[in-house]
Structure 1
Amino acid sequence: MTVRIDKKLCNGCGNKDESCCMRICPGNLLYKTKNNKAEIRDKADCWDCAACVKECPRQAIEVYLPVEIGGRGSTLKAKDLGNEIVWTLKTQDGSVEEFTIRNKLWFNWNL
């Protein structure tokens, strides 16, 4: 697996020195280009943790799934809604499925 960054969606998290994906990557693999876009140093070094995918506020990062999991060309994107994360699976045939996972750290004190 590896990640792909959509340069049309990425804005480098504004003018910050460090974008959200750079800050969260445990392998320190992401950096900003001269155009203020996030880029991965070496895809082969990616740990496939998907932390950057979940952290990106613009949904500009997606993870490619290996053939064994989702088939060649399948991708996953995430949208963090605070109390849950919505994962979008896009398969090679173009079909799309969404999966919602509640954040384990979110508590509803109004029960």
Structure 2
Amino acid sequence: MTVKVNQNLCNGCNGIAESRCEAVCPGNLMTRDAEQLAYIRSSKDCWDCMACVKACPQQALQTKLPFQLAGYGSKLVPKSEKKQIHWTLTHPDGKVETFTIPTESI
């Protein structure tokens, strides 16, 4: 798996010194280009922790799932809220599944 950046959604965290994806990546793999848009330095070195994907307020980052897990071309996109994360899994055939995971213990 690796992270894919949707350049149409990324706003570079509005030019702050360190974008959210850069700040949370444990491998120091996320960075920004000259236009301040995020990209991954080396996808082969990605740990697949999805910290950057969950931290992106624009939902510009997504995880491309291997075909063994969900079919070639599937994607997984989170939307973080205060106490939960909503995950949207889109299959290659267009089928969409959603999952909500609490982020705080009850």
- After TM superposition, list the pairs within 5 Å mapping 1:1-111 onto structure 2: 1-104=1-104, 107=106
2:21 match: secondary structure: helix
Structure with bigger helix share is: 2
**Cα shift readout 1:4-30 (whole Å, capped 9, x = no counterpart):** 000010001012111000000010001
Identity over aligned pairs, percent: 47
- TM-score if structure 1 supplies the norm length? 0.92
Q: Distance in 2 between matches of 1:91 and 1:27?
A: 28
Q: Distance in 1 between matches of 2:82 and 2:104?
A: 11
RMSD: 1.0
1:69 match: secondary structure: helix
- TM-score if structure 2 supplies the norm length? 0.96
Letter in 2 for 1:19: S
Q: Distance in 1 between matches of 2:68 and 2:79?
A: 24
Q: Which runs of 5+ in 2 are unaligned?
A: none
Q: Which runs of 5+ in 1 are unaligned?
A: none
Letter in 2 for 1:99: F
Letter in 2 for 1:33: D
Larger radius of gyration: 1
Q: Distance in 2 between matches of 1:15 and 1:8?
A: 16
Letter in 1 for 2:17: D
